[in-house]
A and B are shown apart, each in its own frame.
Chain A
């Protein structure tokens, strides 16, 4: 089954404790992306990747890191999380060149205390 998986689905952590949210897709997609969704602000792109070893900043990259060492995986790293990073995070993937038929993961709800 074609899918995007994220782990963990729910996470409560404390300020400053490094964490990684994993994202994996099984569709051989080149394009992968991370978004955060906040009430009243909608979905905002954090980082995206057009292919292995190629990443670019989205609209809200501050406080986040990503890496794309393999085509299927695109982890999101918070080196020193802060309460303003409390949000719902989505990973997505699609074929290269356009996010047409973009598949979204189920979401990770992160709370930073």
Chain B
């Protein structure tokens, strides 16, 4: 069965303390892997798309990487405004269906 598992479920960091969020996936034919940020009470906001193993994308303090079985979202020197839930999703080739992970709740303490 195709699935996406994110870890940890929740993470508390001090401001400036770098870390990584994990997204492991099993899917029969990957069209793409996506990272989103979701603030409380709002819709997810697109961050990155990754298509093939070895690919990397960066945006400000965030960097996403992809292997054949997992993706990492690295957060460098985070600030309190980076606090949010980060969602990972995959789209499979055969029918374009999208499967989301349950997310990682990130809290950055000032």
Residues on A lying within 8 angstroms of B by beta carbon are 4, 31, 33, 35, 40-45, 48, 50, 56, 58-59, 90, 92, 97-107
Closest-by-CB residue of A relative to B49 is: A100
With most chain B CB atoms within 10 A of its CB, the pick from A4, A40, A42, A98 is A42
Task: Assign chain B's interface to a size class.
Answer: 20 to 34
15 contacts between A and B (CB under 8 A): A33-B98, A40-B102, A42-B102, A42-B103, A43-B87, A45-B99, A56-B95, A59-B97, A98-B91, A98-B96, A100-B32, A100-B46, A101-B46, A104-B44, A107-B41
Cβ 8 A contact of A99, one of B42, B87, B98, B102 = B98
Instruction: Tell me the dominant secondary structure on chain B's binding face.
Output: strand
- The answer to whether B95 and A59 touch across the interface, beta carbons within 8 angstroms, is no
Cβ 8 A contact of A48, one of B32, B43, B97 = B97
- The answer to whether A107 and B34 touch across the interface, beta carbons within 8 angstroms, is no
How distant is A90 from chain B, measured CB to nearest CB, in Å? Answer: 5
